[in-house]
Amino acid sequence: MGRIGNIIGRKEKQDQKRAKIYTKMARLITVAAREGGGDPEYNAALKNAVDKAKASNMPNDNIDRAIKKGTGELGGDNFEYITYEGYGPSGVAVIVDVLTDNRNRTAGDVRHAFDKNGGNLGTSGCVSFMFDRKGQMLIEKDDSIDEDTLMMAALEAGAEDFTSEEEVYQVITTPEDFSVVKDALLKENYTFLSADVVYIPQTEATLQGEDIKKMKKLIDMLEDNDDVQEVHHNWNEEE
């Protein structure tokens, strides 16, 4: 439950940093619209970005403005995707997804966060082999949800796996099938605690003492950066 508990905790923390989350969501929407067009019905990446923004209570005006920046109706910065890989304290594997309009600035900021907290930035591919790229949907347990019905709906839509955890139901898909399964469950009126394509660690690492404080500070520094979209790691936070 370490990783899933972390997702729930991070959502609560994000609610406290709403303005920063809106900035990140707007970039995600703009890039998705630029690369695949401004209609969410024909652009799965944009639909997922808009769904994430709405789940964070981002105002519709902000969403529409971000789409228009992507389609060229409004002027906007030219953001690009970059993924950084590195090691946290005691060799914890860390992957950082960013959207930036200044590669040099972002690389310096990410490197500084690692260096300051007992880690180091690595080369491309140095830790990604330790993760599986999967679609993941978490649905909060509720008396109104029948586990068997949800499981059958998920598997029939194309899910790879379904598990019942302490607080949530977890649906796992391939990245390619994520949007199809997600849309099928939305049509059945299921609500997601989170839904995204993520890096799931194959094994989890443990930390002790001062390294726990350093790892928390590393994650906080990275997530506080407007350029950083997601921070993935294999640290089991329930220690």
User: Residue 6: what pLDDT?
Assistant: 60
Sheet with 93-100, strands from edge to edge, namely: 120-121, 80-87, 93-100, 228-233
- Could you read off the pLDDT of 207-228 as tens digits, one per residue? 999 999 999 999 999 999 999 9
57 pLDDT exceeds 90?
A: no
Q: Fold identical between 80-129+202-233 and 131-201?
A: yes
Q: Distances in Å between the alpha carbon of 163 and those of 91, 101, 112, 138, 158?
A: 29, 39, 38, 10, 15
In single-letter form, the type of residue at position 179 comes to S
- Could you read off the pLDDT of 31-41 as tens digits, one per residue? 999 988 989 88
10 pLDDT exceeds 50?
A: yes
- Could you read off the pLDDT of 159-195 as tens digits, one per residue? 999 999 989 999 999 999 999 999 999 999 999 988 9
80-129+202-233: CATH homologous superfamily?
YebC, transcriptional regulation domain (3.30.70.980)
More confident position, 8 or 51:
51
May I ask the CATH class of domain 131-201?
alpha beta
1 pLDDT exceeds 50?
A: no
**pTM for this model (two decimals):** 0.83
Confidence of residue 130 (pLDDT cuts 50, 70, 90): very high
State the Cα–Cα distance between residues 50 and 46, nearest whole angstrom. 6
CATH number given to 2-71: 1.10.10.200
74 pLDDT exceeds 90?
A: no
All structural domains of the chain with their residue ranges? 2-71, 80-129+202-233, 131-201
145 pLDDT exceeds 50?
A: yes
State the Cα–Cα distance between residues 234 and 23, nearest whole angstrom. 26
Mean pLDDT of all residues in 120-124: 95
Q: Distances in Å between the alpha carbon of 15 and those of 22, 53, 175?
A: 11, 12, 26
How many CB atoms sit inside 10 A of residue 195's CB?
24
% of the chain at pLDDT higher than 90: 74
